[in-house]
Chain A
Amino acid sequence: MTDTVGQCTRIEVLQHSGKVWVQPAGTTSPELFLLWFFIGTRDIVTNEDISAFDRVRHSMWVAMLQRAMDSGQPVTITHDDAGAFCRAVKVGT
């Protein structure tokens, strides 16, 4: 697992996906992370049947990120070294 720390520059909530862009200090390139993703293709079918806990957690993540973006507080996204799915979201230092 890896932590990426930076400013939340954009949040996007669509019907089947949630995304956040985080720009680490000293860089000009925000990184795109997936908060959740439930879109299926011919090759990928993801499970939309998630628990109520996960739905609440996703909602809390969006609320935390929104507040951090408004207040300018840094956020920490925990994710796999080679993956873009958020495992945890923290706000503040």
Chain B
Amino acid sequence: MLRDRPLARLRPLIHSKAASPQDAMATLARAMHGLPGKGRLRITSLGGKHSTSWTVNHLNRKASVERAGARKSTAATCEVLASDETLRAILAGELSPLEAFVQDRLRIRGDVEYARVVLRHLASSSDASTEVCD
């Protein structure tokens, strides 16, 4: 079975090859401005023995980001986990997060529908699919 519509990618939030996911988090929060509703998106970079998490708190068309630490126990609406390299490719708009998921390079916890809403808002093309099984 082959699909005609490409899978949605993010519009580029990182422009430099040397940029890390951390560099993109403030840009990501700004890009989520205008998104109605509310939610808490956690992004976790799995790097060897240590993982790093950021939480984008989104409420009423505004969003802010914080490094998850003391408040990490606060439940996220949705959490995305991937290696630093995969996150960088997604945030640079080079790799669809859906593609990463079906390539065994990304994990997702929580409300998948919320992740889909965020992806639709951040997508580089409105024609792209935000479903892996449609």
Contact = CB atoms under 8 A, between A and B. Distances in A.
Q: Is the interface of B mostly helix, strand, loop or mixed?
A: mixed
A80 to B, nearest CB: 6
Interface of A: 14-17, 27-32, 34, 37-46, 48, 79-85
Interface stretch (B30-38, B61-69, B103-111): B103-111
Contact of B6 (A16, A43, A81): A43
Contacts of A16: 1, 133
B103 A44 contact: yes
Given A28-B75, A44-B99, A83 B105 contact: yes
A82 B107 contact: yes
A45 B107 contact: no
A29 B109 CA distance: 6
B83 A30 contact: no
Contact of B110 (A29, A79, A80): A29
Contact of B82 (A17, A82, A85): A82
A40 B3 contact: yes
A82 B86 CA distance: 9
A82 B46 contact: yes
A86 to B, nearest CB: 10
A29 B105 contact: no
A14 B79 CA distance: 24
Interface string B78-91: 11011100100000
B1 A84 contact: no
Interface in B1-47: 1-7, 46
B99 A84 contact: no
A31 B107 CA distance: 8
B53 to A, nearest CB: 13
A19 B96 CA distance: 20
Contact of B108 (A32, A42, A45): A32
Contact of A39 (B1, B4, B96, B107): B1
B74 to A, nearest CB: 11
A41 B99 contact: yes
A83 B106 CA distance: 5
